[in-house]
Amino acid sequence: MRYIGKEMRRVDGIAKVTGRAKYAAEFELSNLAYGYLTLSEIAKGTITSIDTSEAERAPGVLQIFTHLNVPKLFPALPGGPDNKEFRPLMSPKIVFNGQPIAVAVANTFEQARYASQLIKVTYSQEKPVTDLRTAIDSAKETNAQKSPPPRGRLAIAYAPAPFKVEQEYNIPVEHHNPIEPHGATAFWKDGKLTIFDKSQNVYQVRDYLAQTFKIVPEDVNVITLFVGGAFGSSLTVNYYPPLVALAAREVKRPVRLVYTRRQMFTGHGYRPDTWQKVAIAADEDGKLTAISHRAVINTSTFENYFEDYFKVARTVYKCPNVETLYQNVVTDLPTPVAMRAPAAVSNMFALECALDELSYQLKIDPLELRLINYAETDPETGKPFSSKALRECYSLAAEKFGWRNRNPEPRSMRDGDLLVGWGVATGIWGAFQRPASAKVVYKSDGTAHVTSSTTDIGPGTYTVMTIIAAEHLGLDPAKIKFELGNSLYPKAPAQGGSWTTASVGSAIYGAVQNIRKQLLDLAKKDASSPLATADVDDVEMIDGVLRLKSDASETVDLSELLRKFGIEEVEDTYQSNPSPEREKYAIGAHSAQFVEVKVDPQLGTVHVTRVIEASACGKIMNPKTSHSQEIGGAIWGIGMALMEGTEIDHRYGRILNPTLADYHVPVHADAHQIETIFVEEDDKIVNPLGVKGMGELGLVGIPAAIANAVFHATGIRVRDLPITPDKLLKRGLA
């Protein structure tokens, strides 16, 4: 490999640091107007009156949109009357606190904001229910996702087991807080809509807007060139793109609308409030005999949100008797949405903490207990893994971390006055692939243009697709131009689930193979060509020539070849699809995560001072950005374990900490030594590139490893995230 597997700087790095990279709310358009949202002050009830007269008279105001005029302006709505998704300004009904109830559009942002404050609203208020834990007994399985049947005979296996752990675990609502606030800029021309949106799926937004405005999809162009972090918060169509497009159409000017930081807390979903109960049992040798895992999350009154809460308990460890139950509870909050490593990180926190507790009962090292229960084949299906180097991950990370030097007794390790704790956990994530298309154009001047509608929410998609194209076209990456984030480009799946490289990268690979065949067919038209009798698998493209793999001296200059036939370029648009061969295997990515914490016994503060993470996720395309992905996952895990939690006043269903001053996320001072290691796998089954997703994998086990390390340091088991000083101090830490 010339480029795959080698470190490469981000091709979009200079554009980002110099400001040339344009985000959804940064495109300059002439005669631009601005929208500003007015939000409800109650969580449940009905608007009884809304007076916009004073706002309409305010300086610079162009139009005010409310439920009184918006339903008449939308010619159609996606899904028809049976679609229960939230639709802003379509009804006087209030279904969550912070719901948009009006949009003021004015000549300037300041004028729109001022006008929004002049809108007078009265409500008929009802008492909201927003506390998951008061309604756990009413939890029901969703129709969308029924729990699979039990495996084995759990009750019979659990009852006589000599070693058991049965505990409850809580994870509060957590909010996405990307650097870039959500927003869009839209304009109409000749009946066609162009919208710059913060999206993870431009085709989905395109089709939604086309249905909403009753125009053909080809008359909607959605552009998302750069995304300043999304993490699942833009996987679905957010409520503001239709509003911005509607406003632009009505005022006959481009319109921009951007969330404030406070509006970010009710505008795009969140990780759901999660209550879990885990019961596990083992024999004297530490072999798991039973696992029961129940998960309850909240959803909204108008949508049935669910996550895949089954896989972790049923597939991570070898166990003959497993029962899982997934349920949700209706609350008067906005609908949750996927947030980095949805379900997996939440499930793993509960299961891996329970396993750690079991290890202390058994007096077996926590790492050893995981190895005792290592699954060589998929416990749920019996299928072999296409590749699984988790055992190697455990070994490498443990050696690097110095795990053998761990004193197993809680509170036994110190650094001066600080208590030191070491914890371990496992991470898993699926090696997904989705249908995806890409177009590759090879030009006679020795350059190439590659396009796909995928987005880049931060992992380095621009760079990795450039690397893949350069590798297989045999060109220097500087001669490749890769463009994304435009609904005019070939269709790609949403960027989420850690499947983008596997999906879009495979499409680029497939297109290049077809281009190589086209070029070989041209070369074979000359009977004297050194490649006249070659098959496509016998040749490769490199440095502007097509040559025999077996004899590098037998070449055809591609620029000369194309000029000879009067061809400026050859192109191919290719759709990649998951191979049916995948169905014969269990496919996934795995990691081992070791964490050191230091706890101040007087203050209760916890610092994560070391993280060693070893990941097995197939072939690494670009180590530089890959390490950044895993480091970012570890930092996210620090936030989840120690800081992040959305506080809700359940009397009013109102979020109390909707700012970055009050909702704490990790900063540089919280990120100490974080080292990531890759154990590469040669996997011919997952996709042609042998690549697996890693964006979520780096997070999955971190909160559990931190919680386990805190117990080792303090002897106090905290099962409710985040682990804040008060939870340690009130339990006698000092």
pLDDT digits (tens, 9 = 90+) for 358-416: 999 999 999 999 999 999 999 999 999 999 999 999 999 999 999 999 999 999 999 99
Is the residue at 138 inside a domain?
A: no
Q: What is the pLDDT at residue 307? A: 87
Q: What is the distance between the terminal CA atoms of the chain, rounded to a whole angstrom?
A: 56
Three-class secondary structure of residue 341 per DSSP: coil
Residues 367 and 442 in one domain: no
pLDDT tens-place string over residues 569-588 = 999 999 999 999 999 999 99
Residue 538 clears pLDDT 80, i.e. is over it: yes
State the pLDDT confidence band at 83, using cuts at 50, 70 and 90.
Answer: confident
Domain annotation covers residue 404: yes
Residues 200, 73 share a domain = yes
Q: Show which of 210, 235, 265 is a domain's final residue.
A: 265
Query: CA 643, CA 658: separation in Å to the nearest integer?
Result: 14
Same domain flag for 286 and 301: yes
- Domain of residue 723: give its range: 274-432+583-729
Q: Establish if 665 belongs to a structural domain.
A: yes
The mean pLDDT value of the chain amounts to: 96
Question: Do 179 and 229 meet the contact criterion of CB atoms below 8 Å apart?
Answer: yes
Q: How far apart are CA 715 and CA 421, in angstroms?
A: 10
* pLDDT > 90? residue 518: yes
In a domain, 110, yes or no: yes
Catalytic positions, please?
Answer: 696
Q: Reduce the DSSP state of residue 593 to 3 states and report it.
A: strand
Residue 143 within any structural domain of the chain = no
Burial grade of 304 (CB within 10 A; 0-12, 13-18, 19 or more): middle
Please write the tens of the pLDDT for every residue from 421-469.
999 999 999 999 999 999 999 999 999 999 999 999 999 999 999 999 9
Q: Is the pLDDT of residue 82 over 80?
A: no
Q: Average of pLDDT values for 593-617?
A: 98
Does residue 78 carry a pLDDT above 90?
A: no
DSSP assignment of 184-244? EEEEEETTEEEEEE--S-HHHHHHHHHHHHT--GGGEEEE-S--S--TTTTSS--SHHHHH
697 pLDDT higher than 80: yes
Whether residue 292 sits in one domain with residue 228? no
Tell whether 39 and 182 lie within a shared domain.
yes
Q: Are residues 465 and 546 in the same domain?
A: yes
Query: Is pLDDT of 287 > 90?
Result: yes
Phi, psi of 417 (to 5 degrees): -85, -5
Residue 527 has pLDDT above 80, yes or no: yes
Q: Give the integer Cα–Cα distance in Å for 174 and 722.
A: 10
Q: What is the mean pLDDT of residues 320-345?
A: 96
Distance (Å, rounded) from C-alpha 464 to C-alpha 461? 5
The residue among 236, 265, 294 that closes a domain is 265
- Tell whether 283 and 352 lie within a shared domain: yes
Candidate from 311-315, 673-677, 703-707 with smallest mean pLDDT: 311-315
Residues 219 and 188: their CA atoms lie apart, in Å, by: 10
Position 153 in a domain:
no
List Cβ neighbours of 542 (8 Å cut-off, separation of 6 or more): 474
Where does a domain end: 543, 577, 611? 577
Give the CA distances from residue 145 to residues 307, 310, 328, in Å, rounded to whole numbers and listed in that order. 8, 10, 10
Gap between the Cα atoms of 359 and 350, Å rounded: 14
pLDDT at 80: 67
| Other residues' Cβ atoms within 10 Å of the Cβ of residue 79 | 12
Q: Which uninterrupted H or E stretch holds 111?
A: helix 109-116
Question: Can you tell me the mean pLDDT for 226-238?
Answer: 94
Task: Tell me the pLDDT tens digit for each residue of 89-103.
Answer: 999 999 999 999 999
CA 229 → CA 95, 195, 340, 496, distances in Å? 28, 19, 11, 12
Give the pLDDT mean for 251-264: 97
Structure tokens at 388: 């699984």
Specify whether 541 is located in the same domain as 592: no
pLDDT > 70? residue 236: yes
Among 528, 361, 314, 558, which Cα is nearest to 447's? 558
| Averaged pLDDT for residues 281-308 | 95
Residue 21 has pLDDT above 70, yes or no: yes
Q: Are residues 488 and 628 in the same domain?
A: no
Tell which residue, 276, 298, 412, has the closest CA to residue 352: 276
Residue 85's pLDDT is 86
Q: Are residues 445 and 403 in the same domain?
A: no
Q: Please report the pLDDT score of residue 77 as a whole number.
A: 72
Pair of tokens at residue 733: 């830490």
Q: How many domains does the chain have?
A: 3
Domain of residue 53, CATH code: 3.30.365.10
CA distance 209 to 204: 9
pLDDT (0 to 100) of residue 311: 84
Query: What is the three-state SS of 610-626?
Result: EEEEEEECECCCCHHHH
Radius of gyration of the chain (CA): 28
In a domain, 671, yes or no: yes
Tell me whether residue 136 is in a domain.
no
Q: Decide if pLDDT at 81 tops 70.
A: no
The reply to whether 106 and 212 lie within a common domain is yes
- Tell whether 85 and 190 lie within a shared domain: yes
